Structure 1
Amino acid sequence: MSLTHLPPLREALAEHGLLAKKAFGQHFLLDLNITRKIARLAEIGAGDCVIEVGPGPGGLTRALLETGARVIAVEKDQRFRPLLEDLAQAAGPGALTLEFADALIADEDALIGGHAGHAVSNLPYNVGTALLIKWLTGSWRPVSMTLMFQKEVAQRIVAPVDAPAYGRLALIAQATSQARTIMDVPARAFTPPPKVESAVVRLTPRPDRPSAQRLDALQKLTAAAFGQRRKMLRASLKPLGGEPLIEAAGLDPQARAETVDVDGFLRLADAWIAQRAR
């Protein structure tokens, strides 16, 4: 059997008696026109290596395999093993590698075998943000990430400074990547339909990505600043250095976190590192 001769996804799900599990945040994307569009917007092609988290019945997986890419699918739900093994067999030797594991603790560098790789996923709603932070701040360096989130989360990733959705997620994403929304996906496209709309975000690494030390400092500072976002920085950052720290970064101690851009927070990170080195 080849990819072109696989049964429709709805038939495959029915054959295996599979339903989405709410506990895993599962919503199946079965429309191959949509999954093929995502693969195209991800700019995936023959010879590329892709990590996909949460393939479920394999709708996006099929679209990625059709490009000629090599796909490593990380799935926590063992119920999908027979269906995904059928897909791996149809794709041919070496095209699809299955890893039944928790993506939050998976070692992407080991999975991808030292190759440059991409992340393309319709992420489970309950782990999407945590996975993104892991990939933005961890040791794995994907060439690009094309990821589907709840639309509200996508807006938080791409939000500009002083926008209502601007916060920690925007800062960490935009300090490490160029991030933009490339596609909206209506709830009716999923089975079962979620209560919210979704969106696909594409992230490509910034050439001036902060060091691990700066990222660690940035995470601590944004946690404090946005943990009390209605307070002035001099109050929210008091435990980390207060006004002297803020002034060393060239910022106004009376400013609030949502008015400080990425460069401003990176200067705060540098000032905090310098303060601790004294």
Structure 2
Amino acid sequence: MVRPQKRFGQHWLQSSRVLGKILQAADLAPQDHVLEIGPGTGVLTRPLLDQAGQVTSVEVDREAHQALTTTLTHPNWHLILADFLKLDLAGLPDPKPNKVVANIPYNITGPILIKLLGTISQPQTQPFQSLVLLIQAEVASRILASPADKAYGALSLRVQYLAKPEKICHVPPTAFFPPPKVDSTVIRLTPQPPLIPCDCPPLLDELIQLGFATRRKMLINTLKGRVEREVLLNAFQDLNISAQTRAENLDLKTWIQFSNWLDQAGLESVLSD
């Protein structure tokens, strides 16, 4: 058996219950082409091949890659030795993957999400139908959070702008070898258009970044260096937002409305690059 490498953040999933939950959430069919990140020992790869038409697995660990080439063969399986963050998704086999199912390294969850979903300013031009990911529970809580939750922040808004997040199941450390020091969660992300149209996504992205830079301060103070106070007060009044509101008090729809108000008022130039 290939030993998990700490430098790659590897923890081999060994729970049949969790595997079943992942596969159920992925809802695979013969016409699906699945992208898997970090197949490791192939414990998830094998059932994916049983249910999907094609599977493309990307593995950065040479030892794991070599072991897989000798223990697993399938006519509809593509195994790529590469750093996923450096991989050109446009160069993947045709037809391109339409779903992602993966137990991803926790230390690079953020960059992986950006590569798979894009950003508010630059969404993925050809979004996947769904992403079923096994990630650190703390990060999942932030992704799933609403304004009433302590975990709510910029990550919540950025992911929810791009996709509908759902919690599938909790995963304890004992489900892995070796057990990680944190709990985990399986989530499903379904890319979709934002709740309401956003007139200027780069402006929205910047406002969220500024607003949560000092999350305990009122927005009137966190944005005063970029937008004139009177302009902010006018926007708040028109949108029925309290002048004492903080970034964490506004839901995604209100953030978009706020960004649209500033953009339509011709004030994008107030926010410097």
TM band (smaller chain): 0.7 to 0.9
Any idea what the Cα deviations from partners look like across 1:101-146, whole Å, max 9, x if unmatched? 2222322233153536011111101011221133222334010111
**Alignment match, 1:24:** 8
Local SS of the residue matching 2:31 = coil
Counterparts of 1:78-157 in structure 2 under 5 Å?
Answer: 78-89=62-73, 91=74, 93=75, 95-113=76-94, 115=96, 117-137=98-118, 138-157=124-143
- What residue identity is the alignment partner of 1:155? S
Tell me how far apart the structure 2 counterparts of residues 81 and 47 of structure 1 sit (CA, whole Å): 26
**Alignment match, 2:257:** 267
Local SS of the residue matching 1:20 = coil
Counterparts of 1:202-217 in structure 2 under 5 Å?
Answer: 202-208=188-194, 214-217=200-203
Q: Out of 33, 40, 60, which is 2:44 matched to?
A: 60
- What residue identity is the alignment partner of 2:127? R
| Between structures 1 and 2, the one with greater helix share | 1
CA RMSD of aligned residues (A): 2.4
Q: Out of 219, 222, 226, which is 2:205 matched to?
A: 219
Local SS of the residue matching 1:193 = coil
Unaligned runs of 5+ in 1: 1-12
Change (3 A) 1:55 1:164: same
Local SS of the residue matching 1:271 = helix
Any idea what the Cα deviations from partners look like across 1:150-200, whole Å, max 9, x if unmatched? 111111111111310001111112122211101111110100000111001
**Alignment match, 1:248:** 235
CA contact (8 A) 2:29 2:52 kept: yes
User: What TM-score, normalized by structure 1, do the two folds share?
Assistant: 0.84
Unaligned runs of 5+ in 2: 119-123
Tell me how far apart the structure 2 counterparts of residues 102 and 210 of structure 1 sit (CA, whole Å): 35
Any idea what the Cα deviations from partners look like across 1:2-34, whole Å, max 9, x if unmatched? xxxxxxxxxxx1xxxx22122221111133443
CA contact (8 A) 1:178 1:203 kept: yes
User: What TM-score, normalized by structure 2, do the two folds share?
Assistant: 0.85
